[in-house]
Amino acid sequence: MNKGVHKLGIIALTALALAACDDQLGVNGGAQASLSFAATGGSTLLGDPTPPQNPVTVGGHVIAVSRVELRLSELELEGEDSAEVETKGSQILVALPVNGSVVTPITTQVIPGTYTELEMKVNTVRVQGTYDGQPFDVTVTVNEDLETDIRPPLVVTETSPANLTVAVDISNWFRASDGGAIDLLNLSAAGSSRLASNIKISFDAFEDDDRSGSSHDD
């Protein structure tokens, strides 16, 4: 991480459910940017939360997800020309939509520039749904600093707002190392560790100004 780069702190970034956060520290003469989140993985897994209508079969077990919560503590954007946006110390709770929509919990003022990398610390992930028709509610400790390239990069100008979407592919979260399903009703230490590992590699980020939840490079 470069020393002496421009930084923009963001205060009071606690996003509950689908509510946007308004208490933010801006930069005079800056540009507006937002950060969105979306779940991907196909309509076979994501359905109406009450109840899930489109379950998926993993290793002979039927899993449907009704709610996902991401708890983050750090977010940082890095880019060209020493452009950087950073927040630390605040807990950010993101209710990840599981119906194919996009949630935008953060909107702030940033320094115009081209941003190429996102870093964030994922503390815990809570997942609710059904496993073979039985309800489950599990929370997994991740505590990992995740880095992902922004493809395509996020280009922020003073004349037009920009949006970065973090897409979380949950399609392989529940697959064990042997190809079977992680038992979400009786989550073991090994199962929890495997779930955390699957979560760590499921994040992608890209410019998504229309907030469609998919990269236009796809």
Based on the structure, what is the number of domains in the chain? 1
Region of poorest pLDDT, from 72-81, 114-123, 126-135: 72-81
- DSSP assignments along the chain, one per residue: --TT------------TTPPB------TT-EEEEEEEEEES-TTTB--SSS----EEETTEEEEEEEEEEEEEEEEEEEGGG-EEEEEEEEEEEEE-SSS-EEEEEEEEE-SEEEEEEEEEEEEEEEEEEETTEEEEEEEEEEEEEEEEEEEEEEE-SSS-EEEEEEEE-TTTTB-TTSSB--SSS--HHHHHHHHHHHHT-EEEEE-TT--SS-TT-
Question: Does residue 10 lie in a domain region?
Answer: no
Question: Does residue 1 lie in a domain region?
Answer: no
Question: Does residue 6 lie in a domain region?
Answer: no
- Please give the residue range of the domain that contains residue 107: 31-207
pLDDT tens digit sequence for 132-180: 999 999 999 999 898 889 988 888 888 888 999 999 988 889 999 999 9
Question: Does residue 26 lie in a domain region?
Answer: no
Question: Does residue 13 lie in a domain region?
Answer: no
pLDDT tens digit sequence for 127-140: 999 999 999 999 99
Question: Does residue 138 lie in a domain region?
Answer: yes
Question: Does residue 178 lie in a domain region?
Answer: yes
Predicted TM-score (pTM) above 0.85:
no
What's the confidence (pLDDT) of residue 100?
A: 79
- Mean pLDDT for the chain? 77
pLDDT bin (cut points 50, 70, 90) of residue 187 is very high
